[in-house]
Structure 1
Amino acid sequence: MPSMKMARVILFTGQIDAMSKFYGQILGLKQVTNEKGWKEFDAGGTRIALHSGPSSPGRKGPKIVFYTRDVAALRQTLVARGASFGQVRQGDIFCLCDGKDPDGNPIQLSDR
């Protein structure tokens, strides 16, 4: 079987400007594609693509997880930029913090 790797996560959105601002300016990801109705951001090993169209996640939609060595510090930086995250949760094995993008898609900061 040929090997494969994840290329991108596509999020359909009716708020492409707000979502672009969130992933680009607030989370600080580099925008690598800027076409009408299609924007891609480099997320370090994969891309997050925003596609114009109605957002209709299922009962439990995708969750995009961003790795960081210091969850609390990154949360503080992103909240200061306008992101919405809950409290940092430190477990025995790893630390994480959940948030949402402007369309309500779950995102997470994690040190694993």
Structure 2
Amino acid sequence: MAIDLQRIVLFVSDMEKEAAFYREKLGLRVSEEREGWIEFDAGSCRIALHRGKRKPRLDFASEEALEETCESLRARGLRLGDIKPHPVHDLSVTGGKDPEGNPFRISGPTAAGSD
């Protein structure tokens, strides 16, 4: 079981100001944009700006079925939420928090034959 850091999600109140900073000051290229969401290519990871006020979130991706990844992580004592469909992409997602309460999300394909 392996997971890779896919993106860091920053929740922001002023999308235009934040987007200008990452685009113009840091010179990052916009890789995806939709209402309330702008994602920048930052090399091996992406930085996403999401409209809202929450703690930053780390998004990980699993290449194996998410159910298998969750089983391995739960065997290590990690508490995870229910597996749900991703709100935009054809994937499944779950999440949890680290010991300090910082949120993370893991996405991956659904196991064959499960709905």
TM-score per shorter chain, which class? 0.3 to 0.5
Calculate the TM-score normalised by the size of structure 2: 0.46
TM-score by length of 1: 0.47
